[in-house]
Chains A and B, each alone.
Chain A
């Protein structure tokens, strides 16, 4: 059973700090990785995708991928209270369905 693991949190950071969210995955053959943000009672919203080792930056968000360690992370710089949400890590399985396998999410709380 292919798995994606995340710390459930909550991860509490003060406003303006860097929030670091981590994810590990079991399938060494995985090639596509995604971070979704989910506010309470809402559906997941795609915020980052990453396919190659290294860093990918988009505004205040940076995704980091290390395929050798089977590790993906998301950094949120200058955290805002509006960033408080659950962050879901997802790995695309490269079989006939290209389905996403999700972790259970990390709840982030940004304190004003």
Chain B
């Protein structure tokens, strides 16, 4: 157990809808990263927050956005869902930017 939790576990949405995924990091972990993992692929970096400020983005469009809150929780928002957004979304927390990252159980998103 990494102490990182995510909700919901599974989610089904239709194309064009919006979704919010949530993550609760380990206490004391000031860095949270979000990744998208398509079937058969490695996780792809979406963005990272350090002390509630975004400090890096991957090659994802602006409709992917997120926030980190002072209580070690964070959220990933995806607008205008597309079929290709169907994937496992992973949150990873770490005690510092340069430290090891520990993943939560993930949210499986299906877009119909």
Binding site for B on A (CB under 8 A): 4, 32, 34, 36, 42-46, 49, 88, 90, 92, 94-105
A46 to B45, CA, bound (A): 16
Do the beta carbons of B41 and A104 come within 8 Å of each other?
A: yes
Say whether, besides A44-B103, A104-B42, A96 and B33 are in contact (CB < 8 Å): no
Establish whether residues A99 and B104, one from each chain, have CB atoms under 8 Å apart when the complex forms: no
Contacts of B102 in A (CB 8 A): 46
Contacts of B88 in A (CB 8 A): 43
Cα of A43 to Cα of B55 in the assembled complex, Å: 24
Report Cα–Cα, A94/B56, bound state, in Å.
Answer: 11
What chain B residues lie within 8 Å of A46 (beta carbons)? 100-103
B residues neighboring A (CB under 8 Å): 2, 31, 33, 35, 40-45, 47-48, 55-58, 88, 90, 92, 97-98, 100-106
Complex Cα–Cα for A55 and B41 (A): 27
Q: Is the CB of A99 within 8 A of B56?
A: yes
Q: Hey, which chain B residues are within 8 Å of A98, CB to CB?
A: 31, 48, 56, 97-98
A-B contact pairs, 8 of them (CB 8 A): A44-B90, A44-B103, A46-B103, A88-B43, A96-B56, A99-B48, A102-B44, A105-B41
- What is the minimal beta-carbon distance from A23 to any residue of chain B, in angstroms? 11
Contact status B45-A100, CB under 8 Å: yes
- Of the listed residues A4, A49, A99, the one surrounded by the most CB atoms of chain B closer than 10 A to its CB is A99
Closest to A49 in B: B100
B103 near A88 with CB under 8 A, answer no
A98–B35 CA distance with the chains assembled, in angstroms: 13
